[in-house]
A and B are shown apart, each in its own frame.
Chain A
Amino acid sequence: MSPTATQSPRNIVLNGLWRDNPIFRQILGICSTLAVTNVVLNTAVMCTSLTLVTALSCWTVSLLRNWTPRNIRMMVQTLIMGFYVIIVDLILKAYWPEMSRNLGPYVGLILTNCIIMGRCEAFAGSNSPGLSFMDGLFSGLGYSLVLLGISMVRELLGMGTILGIAMPFFSTQWDKWIIMVMPPGAFFTLATALWILRSIGVREVKK
C-alpha cells in the first residue's frame, strides 16, 4: 500500500478487514492479545480497548502530524498511545474491577502492540485525521474479528460454553478438551485459522 496515495473510505474498510488484515497477512500484534483468547468475554473487552486505542491514537497522530518533528515522532507516538492506554486502564479499573484483574498486565501491553505503531507510521503520518481514524478503526476491527473467532473456538471446545452460556451439544456429550483453554490451544487454533485464511487468500490471488 503506498502511503502517499489518498485512500477512499471503501478501500480502507476492505484493507483493514481483509486485504491487509493485521493478523493473517502481517502476523502483527498477536503477543498482547492471544493470551486472553481463552474466554470470549475477555477477548471482546480486550479487542474493544485495542480498537479504540488504535483509532484514537491514529486520529491524534494525524492531527499533530504537521507539528511533529520527524526525528522524535516515535517518542511522540508512544506518548500519545500511552495516554489512551492509561485512560482505558483507569476506566476498566473504576467500572469493571473484576475484568481489570482478569486482563492483568495485558491492557498495559496494548502500548507495545505492533499494530498501533504500524498504522500510525504507515498511514496516520501522511493522511487526514478522519481517514486515519477510520483506518485505525477498521484495522482494529479486522484484528478483533479473527481473535473473536479464535476465542469462540477455544471456549467452545475447551469448556463447552460461549460467553459463559452452555451450548447444547458441547456441554453435554462433548468430551471437553481442556488443552484448548490452556496456552498450547491458542497456538494451535491460531495456526489453523492462519492455514484456512491463507489458503483462501492464495486462491483469490491466483484468480
Chain B
Amino acid sequence: MNSVGHEVWLAVVTCFAAVFTQNILLTTFLGMCPFTSVSREVKTAAGLGAAVVFVMTFTTALNWLAYYYVLVPLELEFFRFVLFIIIIAAFVQFVEMVIDRYSPKLYQSLGIFLPLITVNCAILGASLFMVIREYRFIETIGYGFGSGVGWLLAILAMAGIRQRLCEARIPMGLQGPGITLIIAGLMALAFVGFTGVLG
C-alpha cells in the first residue's frame, strides 16, 4: 500500500476510534459544561454539536500546522497552550464574521453557539491530545472530525433522553445536573462496550 493511502486509512481508523472507543465527552470528560447546560432540547443541541464538529475539525488542523511549523522549529513548545487558545478564538471570530456576511440564515441558527465554543474545553483538549499522541497531519483531520462527531452524538442522545424525562418524577436533589450526570454515566457504560473493537 502506498504511503498516502496508508495515512488516509490511519485517519479513518482514528476517526472511528474518536467517535466510539475514545469518545471525547464520555471517556475524557471534555466539554461537560455545555453538555449539562445546553442539552435540554434536541434542536439547540444539534446546532451546538454541528458548530463543534466544524470548529474542531479546522482548529485541530490549524493548530497542527502552527505547532509543527512554528513552535517546534523555534523550540517554543511550552507556549502551545496560549497559542492554541488564541488560534481557536481568532478562528471562531473569523467564522462568525464570514457566516454573518454571506449566510444570515445559517448565522441565525449557528451564530449564537459560536461564541460559546471558544471556552469549550473539548476544542482545546482535542488539540492537546493531538500533540500528545503525535498524530500526523491527515490523521489529525480525521481525529478532529471524529471527536466533533462523537461529541455531537453524545449531546444529541442526551438531549433526546432528557426531553423524554421532563415528565418523570425525579428526587429533589437530583433534578437538573444530577440526573444528567447519571444518564451520562449510563451512556459511558454503553460506550465502554466498544473498547477493543479497534484494537
Contacts and interface: CB of A to CB of B under 8 A. Distances in A.
A191 B181 contact: yes
B32 A89 contact: no
B81 A30 contact: no
Contacts of A82: 81-82, 85
B188 A184 contact: yes
Given A31-B121, A191-B185, A114 B132 contact: no
Interface string A91-120: 000000000000011001101111001000
Contact of A30 (B32, B78, B79): B32
Contacts of B44: none
Contact of A196 (B129, B173, B188): B173
Contacts of A78: 82, 85, 89
Contact of A109 (B26, B128, B185): B128
B83 to A, nearest CB: 9
A191 B97 CA distance: 39
B104 interface: no
Interface in B89-136: 89, 119-122, 124-125, 128-129, 131-132
A115 B188 CA distance: 25
Contact of B124 (A27, A29, A108): A108
Interface in A58-79: 75, 78-79
B182 A108 contact: no
A85 B192 CA distance: 32
A101 B26 CA distance: 21
A194 B178 contact: yes
Contacts of B33: 27-31, 114
Interface in B28-68: 28-33, 36-37
A28 B82 CA distance: 21
B72 interface: no
A184 B29 CA distance: 10
B128 A105 contact: yes
Contacts of B26: 183
Interface of A: 27-32, 34-35, 75, 78-79, 82-83, 85-86, 89-90, 104-105, 108-109, 111-114, 117, 179, 182-188, 190-191, 194-199, 201-202
Interface of B: 26-33, 36-37, 78-82, 85, 89, 119-122, 124-125, 128-129, 131-132, 171-174, 177-179, 181-182, 184-186, 188-189, 192
Given A111-B124, A114-B119, 10 more contacts: A27-B37, A31-B121, A79-B82, A82-B85, A105-B132, A109-B121, A112-B125, A179-B192, A194-B173, A196-B173
26 contacts: A27-B37, A30-B29, A30-B33, A31-B31, A31-B121, A31-B122, A34-B29, A35-B28, A82-B81, A85-B81, A86-B82, A108-B80, A111-B81, A111-B82, A112-B120, A112-B121, A114-B33, A183-B188, A184-B188, A184-B192, A187-B181, A188-B182, A191-B182, A195-B171, A195-B178, A198-B174
In the complex, the 4 A-B pairs of residues with the closest C-beta atoms, listed nearest first = A187-B185, A105-B128, A199-B173, A198-B173
